[in-house]
Structure 1
Amino acid sequence: MASTDSVPKAMEALNISKTKELKANAPTTDEVPLHSIPAAELREQQPKFFGCMAYPYMNGTLHAGHSFSVSKVEFAAGVARMQGKRALFPMGFHCTGMPIKACADKLVDEVKMFGQDFSGYKDDEPVVEEKAPVVKQIKEDITKFKATKGKAAAKSVKMKYQFQIMQAIGIPTVEIHKFADPQHWLQHFPPLCREDLTNFGCRIDWRRSFVTTDANPYYDAFVRWQMNRLKELNKIKFGKRYTIYSIKDGQPCMDHDRSEGEGVGPQEYTALKIKVLEWAPKAAEALKGDLIANHLTFFLYSHLALFSQEYWPQSIRANGHLMLNGEKMSKSTGNFMTLRDLTEKYGADASRIALADAGDGVNDANFEEDVADTNILRLYTLKEWCEDMVRDQDQLRTGELNSFQDALFNNDMNAVIKEAVEQYVNTNYKLALKAGLYELTSARDFYREACAAAGIKLHRDLALRYIEVQALLLAVVAPHWSEYIWLEVLKNEGTIHNARFPEIKEVDASLSAKRDYVRNTASNVNSAEGLQLKKKAKGKETSFDPKKPKQLTIFVTDKFPAWQAKYIDLLKEMWNVEAKSVNDKELNGKIGKMGEMKKAMPFVQNLKRRLQAGEPASVVLEQKLAFNEKETLLQMVPGLKRTSGLVACHIISVEEGSKKGTNLGDGKEVELSVPAAEHAVPGQPTFHFENVEA
């Protein structure tokens, strides 16, 4: 275990990284003298990343949907830092438009009606300011979290007045009258949002923070320059058009300014009926993303009009809405969580993992609270294991790596690193998490089991490499956990936010194939034994008693049955390499004419599945294994004996049509007297259990 003050030290270091290390500055003139090299060359030498999101509106605190959107830029900024780029992630606060002004105007009227403390309000069901209940009320469905504060509660149909909405989102009654001044909203909510995003672990450079009104003269000046420049270029015009108009406010009421009626626009009616001769072809369709039709389109138009091509946006990411536990986050049902709810209930890293796991497409994503809950325990147990390994590293095995357990695990880590980094760069965060956390943990567990089965300890170098790789691959999604492991467990100097992804090393395809073979073979042995246990439990006759002393004979061959050759040739002839497919109807017809449909079809279907899964045709259709199967089985013997409780385990090499085989353990010739020996094929050994004298 780490010392009691290790966690505060790690958190202090992370706090420093948030305030100092995450600031992205351009190279100074001392580093690169002015005009010494072209700008394009400078960007190539010192690559940068600049990402932002549609900044949230400041009429309340951030909810889980905001956290999903911000996570995409946040993860991208983390990936850029791990690639050694200067990563800039600024954050703004949207305060323009009518929603804030409309709410403030309502409060002005309500203060006049009910008084500054709203004590003049009378109703059959008086409003009571929210307080923590003394006794927790049992919910009807304990699997659902129901927020009592936030925008969803604020928009509940039960709330008639604006001051009630403010109470529902947690504003003290004595403070509500201050929100009658629109400027107070700008002072109250942005600091809360900044606090929530900081606690969430965002890599935001807060020096670039702003609000979108003339309260920030720099942003206001930029927008005025933008509009004037677009007008000079004849890209925009001032004139009349039909629009939704608020008579009360005396100004147009844009789509996102309305509390209801979004998507409603002016409609023109024609007095004459027109016959449609032909429908126009459908050119494009916007999938989800309610900002595409307005903000994002204007974003693209403006950049293309104002800047040269080298400064155009390189990419735009659209995502769907975030569902909670498979259901839409609803204003009325209470199926809703704020960003603060997430971090307080599950912690930042477990919440971030659940958001990464929610999906990356344009369809609606799903935040599963069970995933977040499970990851709290996952991260904790993983931390404990890392601490134990580092503390007890002197008890681990040292020296050269062996060619079996160590080689397979080392190669597994290389494969996971390659896959995770590739998915991170491609912004597929769900797949990156799958490789960088779940598959890496699975590879470690397989290594532990393989070493335990062989009666050997983990190799110290590989255990320490795993801990470092895990911290680096998880730093993008779970920065707090990774920072703790990096600083307090591995005792590295400096924050992990200045580290790089692990070096991508060559993956040995033969070792990967060998690992899969070992896993499948061990699983098949366990299944064969388990089947006999089930039969015995049901009172059925079994070929052996699994509870009595037993031995296992494994039959292996390196030659395929002669009858398979013609079907391999047939598939070679018909396989479409580019499409990775075959004409099934034609293939089945030819197999049927060859007269061995019953045994040929399963064989051909297996080959086809392997080809479609991406295995090279040179391996599948040439019927070659990428590793030495007999040697691998001999290496597995100690582990199989230990895990299955075997008295003995024999590996017998057989050939088609022969009544004798060779025991690979002692080289002796043996008689083949069991049917299983006839069914072995390369890559698919067969098994025979039998009871023996102890």
Structure 2
Amino acid sequence: MADTNDGRSFKRRDQLLEMEHEVRKWWDECQVFNAEANEQPPKEGDKFFGTFPFPYMNGYLHLGHAFSLSKLEFAGAYHRLRGANVLLPFGFHCTGMPIKASADKLRREIERFGNPPSFPSETDEIIIEPEVKPEDNNSQPDKFKGKKSKAASKTGKETYQWEIMRGYGLSDTEIATFQDPVQWLRFFPPLAVEDLKAFGLGADWRRSFITTDINPYFDSFVRWQMRKLKSMGKIVKDLRYTIYSPLDGQPCADHDRASGEGVIPQEYTLIKMEVVPPFPTKFGFLEGKKVYLAAATLRPETMYGQTNAWVLPDGKYGAFEINDSEVFILTERAARNLAYQHLSRVPEKHTCLVELTGQDLIGLPLKSPLSFNEIIYCLPMLSVLTDKGTGIVTSVPSDSPDDFMALQDLKSKAPFRAKFGIKDEWVLPFEVIPIISHPEFGDKSAEKICTDMKIKSQNEREKLDAAKKVIYKGGFYEGTMIAGEHSGLRVQDAKTLIRTKLLEANQAVVYSEPEKKVMSRSGDECVVALTDQWYLTYGESTWRKLAEECLEEMNLYSDETRHGFEHTLSWLNQWACSRSFGLGTRIPWDEEFLVESLSDSTIYMAYYTVCHFLQKGELFGSDTSSVNPQQLTDEVWDYLFLSGPEPESSIPLTLLRKMKREFEYWYPVDLRVSGKDLIQNHLTFAIYNHTAIFPKRHWPRGFRCNGHIMLNSEKMSKSTGNFRTLKQAIEEFSADATRFSLADAGDGMDDANFVFETANAAILRLTKERVWMEEVLGAESSLRVGPSSCYADRVFANEINFAVKTTEKNYGEYMFREALKSGFYDLQAARDEYRFSCGSYGMNRDLLWRFMDVQTRLIAPICPHYSEYVWKKLLKKEGFVIKAGWPEAENPDLTLQMANRYLQESISNFRKLLVKQSSGGSKKGKNNTTPQSKPTIGLIYVNEQYDGWKKECLNILRSKFDVQKCQFAPDQEILQALQQSVIGEEGNFKQTQKLCMPFMRFKKDEVITLGVQALDLRLPFGEIEVLQENLELVKRQIGLEHVEILSASDGDSVAKAGRHGSLLKQTPPSPGSPTSIFLTKEDMA
């Protein structure tokens, strides 16, 4: 086969690829994954309906998609193997702005640089359109080779869209067609289908579809959904604050962002601190207007304690027109946000009348609302942030450790004042004003905590942050106002009243900005805009209670996932569901707008159940021969999904009834698998929308969330090249080795790790196992026949039963890494041990057949191609392994398993001791050296019952174990019983404790796995009997001619050790720990 440049052969991988291709042909011929609803409603466990959030189609599928999807695929395959009727449909999402934005970007490049384009070299002075590097490369699947053009690499700029498309392997002629957004929809989804088929996804492809109004059937479904929600009052139109992209001219939802997913608007109160005339020369021309320093605060109730305002001395500010008479001084970033909140003379345009620095503002006299000081001054503070709030900060040193220390620095350090030209009268007369009584730190809480923490200056950042956290929390939630008209009121109650008064008096305005930086996929920094738009009333109390009720009854498979949903429900509200740019379905009653991409994807799982009747297996809904999309009225959808009356429709009633039965059979969704990042939007939206539209019996049953995938312990990144598309992974490793490594990558909410070495090892393991089975089957006549009789047979049969039961539990809990371990790794280890244990006696044919049958089924959900090939080609079984049924197994004998572990560990210990003894050197005399004879005889001494201090420890544990509750008394009580026991009263108790406690902890742990029998004075099996029955194995494993198993309590047996009998006193045997003595023939002479 073809070799790589470094000489590695692809022969084994190619064998797997050939097998996979052949197996998929078998599946396709028999349409094994097509799922049909039965006539009778399903009983619990009869059906399994699993879904996966449809991926966005602006590029190829990658291993990040495959990792999350594998969890659903493994779960569905497990249920199918058990005999359930399994439906795994798969659709493709095209709604939203990324495709349209990429198509438009490509069109602009062609307009500027030609077709094909001739891009500028690095020396050309060309302004390149900004391109944002996303924080999460998984969310932007349009660059994956980690290669930039020469110019882009040297300038650090992103590549052009044309170059991105070249990275997909497209020709220049093909790339030009992607100026049309529809081409993306026609090109990528069919390729995704092929990649997923090659992956072995057990999907019913008849039910696949794409979104947007290009698909008239799905378009009709979404319109029905939106009308239904509006009729319920769940969609309303109003002014609201939302994250907004000025470049795109519309709200920027999570899926429209290059960075900042999950960021929401942060609302402030903007305090209008009036600048007292006359104005400085630099903005003296503003005389006659009201000029304010606009300070953003989250604590308007503290304004009574203002002593000054803070600015960053070298910060950049400006005077911006708010209306005809008012000017705000603040940062340009804040002014840009205000312009989209109806706070600019020219809507959506911030007008700067003069640029200023913080130094220009120092010393300005101010009149500030609620302040007890008639005039305060603007002063410098070195820690003011200009990328948060407005860059103007009010100073309340009574309750802010930062303000207190900054003011103290100015008061106590004359050189510091001189540096910034600060007059004494701007600072020295101003004292701390008590306004809040803090339960712990009094009425000057900032001063008190700074003193307690020994904070010396405003530069001690860590200490100040810690102090602020303590003061703010205690002051707000437990503090009491002691100043102003609301004196005596709790602070948290007074806040709203004081804020309302400031707003009504026009002494403040509402201001909002993104709580963190948000970049749109178009490359601009987003603002918060006050927009008149359609939005879903998530968070409304009655609706939220329904969502919480649904969540309460769902299986979420981890506490972390549940906490994530509970947190999201606690803050989520008012989600904008309309957009003016991109692709999608039009708002039915306001067709100027499109349905936002996260709002058309909340209940589409219901559409899967009837899609194949409407679209007839065609992705785009262009075959209208069965049902015309215009026939799908709201009455039809109500009948299909909401038990509405039979509609007056030209659609045949028999077809309507069939579709309705299909929905009623499959719904609700049993499992939806997703990355954890969708908890805060898509998955929670799905809960909300299901509870609004569907009756309780159709609410989702379970969501399973996982972390992201890393490649070889590093973040998957297109920019670094540490990235694989799904197709690349399959070509490099094969589908089953890829699936094997995905299963091994991890199951929890933490980020998992896809290791190339694991995938390569899987190739070797699977192909070697196939060869071994072929050899066994080819030499079947030489195998031992008849019932399983020897000890090794019983142990191996027991290990198979254990693997069946344990793997069933692991699959059932969707712990696929553990299922891989118990159903493949551990089972193969048991087989290898069996091969060696049988020795000349030979392996049992029926037992090996059972092993091959069981292993093939247990690994089938993870490696279905391999298992199917083995099932048909090697084992010559009928039907398909993917539907063969879960293997039957008796409950494993845990005592036998324990006995075998004892046997194997004992042999290992014997071998290590013998090696150590044999390499102990020579017998040396004064003048000669005599080589030491090699031991050939082994005496194994067993003590089958605990005695001495261990017996006393077990008696104590038994007395402190509650059989009914299956739990031990507290450790302190056990320790006290030990101290009062016979061994505890002898000598130094600390030494006794050091000796006994490790043994007692070990025995307590054994109780968890073995039950209370672990506290018996004897092991649950006969040690001498086990060793005696496996005497030949012991001899063969440690390489001795003669071995005897002896009782340490029998005097005649002890005498056989002769002069070596002292070893039995030095290392006395105890239950589970035999003592071995190795002798030479000379020793026995």
Give TM class, smaller chain: 0.7 to 0.9
2:952 is aligned with 1:566: yes
Local SS of the residue matching 1:477: coil
CA distance in 2, matches of 1:243, 1:7: 50
In structure 2, distance between residues paired with 1:254 and 1:507: 53
3-state SS of paired residue (1:62): coil
Question: Which of 130, 135, 144 is residue 150 of structure 1 equivalent to?
Answer: 144
Is 2:635 aligned against 1:636? Answer: no
Q: What residue is the counterpart of 1:198 in the other structure?
A: 197
Counterpart position of 2:1072: 683
Question: Shift in Å at residue 536 of structure 1?
Answer: 3.6
Select 2:903's aligned residue among 510, 518, 540. Answer: 518
- What is the TM-score with the length of structure 2 in the denominator? 0.56
* Alpha carbons of structure 1 residues 526 and 465: separation in structure 2 relative to 1, 3 Å: same
Equivalences for residues 567-646 of structure 1 within 5 A: 567-575=953-961, 583-584=970-971, 587-588=974-975, 591=978, 593-595=984-986, 598=991, 601-613=994-1006, 614-646=1008-1040
Structure 1 counterpart of 2:690: 303
Corresponding residue to 1:480 among 861, 865, 870: 865
Equivalent position SS for 1:92: coil
Alpha-carbon distance in structure 1 between the residues aligned to 2:922 and 2:1059 = 30
Shift of 1:580: 5.0
Match of 2:236, as an amino acid?
Answer: K
CA contact 1:555–1:676 (8 Å) conserved in 2: no
- The verdict on how the C-alpha distance between 1:148 and 1:308 changes in structure 2, with shifts beyond 3 A counting, is closer
CA offset at residue 152 of structure 1? 6.2
Q: Following superposition of structure 1 onto structure 2, how do residues 16-415 of structure 1 map, counting pairs within 5 Å?
A: 16-18=26-28, 20-27=31-38, 32=39, 42-44=41-43, 47-118=46-117, 120-124=118-122, 150=144, 158-272=157-271, 273-274=299-300, 277-278=475-476, 284-285=566-567, 289-415=676-802
CA distance in 2, matches of 1:289, 1:537: 65
Q: Partners of 1:125 and 1:16 in 2: how far apart? A: 58
Instruction: Give the Cα–Cα distance (whole angstroms) in 2 for the partners of residues 477 and 183 of structure 1.
Output: 36
Counterpart of 2:61 in 1: which secondary structure? Answer: coil
Go from structure 1 to structure 2 and tell me whether the alpha carbon gap of 1:465 and 1:7 turns closer, same or farther (over 3 Å shift). Answer: farther
Comparing 331-340 with 210-219, which one deviates more in the overlay? 331-340
Q: Hey, what's the Cα distance between the residues in 2 that align with 1:279 and 1:574? A: 46
Q: 1:45 to 1:362 in 2, by over 3 A?
A: closer
Q: Which amino acid aligns with 1:319?
A: N
Identity of aligned residues (%): 39
Alignment of 1:660 with 2:1052, yes or no, is yes
Q: What is the alpha-carbon distance in structure 2 between the residues aligned to residue 481 and residue 231 of structure 1? A: 51
Partner of 1:135 in structure 2?
none
> What's the counterpart of residue 22 of structure 2?
12
Structure 1 residue aligned with 2:557: none
Q: Within 2, Cα distance between the matches of 1:151 and 1:575?
A: 62
Q: Tell me how far 1:564 sits from its aligned partner.
A: 3.2
Give 1:554's match in structure 2, choosing from 936, 940, 955.
940
Task: Name the aligned partner's letter for residue 661 of structure 1.
Answer: S
What is the letter of the counterpart of residue 637 of structure 1?
L
Equivalent residue letter for 1:571: L
Q: Is the 8 A contact 1:350 1:376 kept in 2?
A: yes
Q: TM-score, normalised by structure 1?
A: 0.86
SS class of match (1:335): coil
> What number of residue pairs does the alignment pair up?
647
Aligned partner letter, 1:570:
I
Residue deviations 1:52-89 (CA, integer Å, cap 9, x gap):
11111111101111110110111111011011111111
Shift in Å at residue 90 of structure 1? 0.8
| 1:548-594 superposed Cα distances (whole Å, 9 cap, x missing partner) | 25111001133322443322222223346758566445544654533
Distance across 2 between alignment mates of 1:661 and 1:312: 72
Residues 448 and 645 (structure 1 numbering): CA distance in 2 closer, same or farther, change over 3 Å? Answer: same
Work out whether residues 660 and 671 of structure 1, in 8 Å CA contact, stay in contact via their aligned partners in 2.
no
Q: 1:666 — aligned with what?
A: none
**More displaced 10-residue stretch of structure 1: 394-403 or 284-293:** 284-293
Q: Is the 8 Å Cα contact of residues 355 and 367 (structure 1) preserved in structure 2?
A: yes
Matched residue, 1:490: 875
- Measured against aligned partners, the alpha-carbon deviations of 1:322-350 in whole angstroms (never above 9, x if no partner) come to 11111111243222111112111111111
Any idea what SS the aligned residue of 2:218 has?
helix
Q: Deviations over 1:276-314 (max 9, x none)?
A: 544599995479822111111110111111112221111
Supply the AA of the counterpart residue of 1:191: P
Task: Give yes or no for contact 1:56–1:66 (8 Å, CA) kept in 2.
Answer: yes
Is the alpha carbon distance of 1:243 and 1:673 closer, same or farther for their aligned partners in structure 2, counting shifts above 3 Å?
closer
Structure-2 separation of matches of 1:526 and 1:279 = 68
Instruction: Indicate conservation of the 8 Å contact 1:10/1:483, yes or no.
Output: no
Equivalent pair of 2:907/2:1038 in contact (CA under 8 Å) = no
1:337-364 C-alpha deviation (Å, 9 max, x unpaired): 1111211111111111111111111111
Q: Counterpart of 1:103 in 2: which secondary structure? A: helix
Change (3 A) 1:89 1:112: same
Larger Rg: 1 or 2? 2
Q: Are 1:417 and 1:504, in contact at CA under 8 Å, matched by a contact in 2?
A: yes
Name the structure with the higher strand share: 2
Q: Does 1:444 align with 2:831?
A: yes
Structure 1 residues 333 and 677, CA gap change in structure 2 (3 angstroms): same
- Residues 100, 449 of structure 1: CA spacing in aligned structure 2 closer, same or farther, 3 A cutoff? same
Cα distance in 1 for partners of 2:761, 2:229 equals 52
1:323–1:365: 8 Å Cα contact kept in structure 2? Answer: yes
Equivalent-residue separation in structure 2 for 1:538 and 1:340 (angstroms): 67
The Cα shift of 1:639 comes to 1.2
8 Å Cα contact 2:82/2:883 also seen in 1: no
**RMSD of the TM alignment (CA)?**
3.3
TM-superposed CA distance for 1:527, in Å, is 1.6
1:11–1:484 contact (8 Å) kept in structure 2? no
Name stretches of at least 5 consecutive residues in structure 2 with no aligned partner: 1-11, 125-140, 272-298, 303-471, 479-491, 493-562, 569-673, 925-929
Alpha-carbon distance, 1:265 to partner: 4.0
Counterpart of 2:274 in structure 1 is none
Match of 2:847 among 446, 456, 462: 462
Cα offset, 1:193, TM superposition: 1.1
Secondary structure of 1:44's match? coil
Matched, 1:416 2:803: yes
SS at match of 1:51: strand
Change (3 A) 1:45 1:369: closer
> 2 CA distance for matches of 1:466 and 1:680?
37
- Separation in 1 of the partners of 2:707 and 2:190? 27
C-alpha displacement at 1:602, in angstroms?
Answer: 4.3
Contact 1:509/1:626 (<8 A) preserved: no
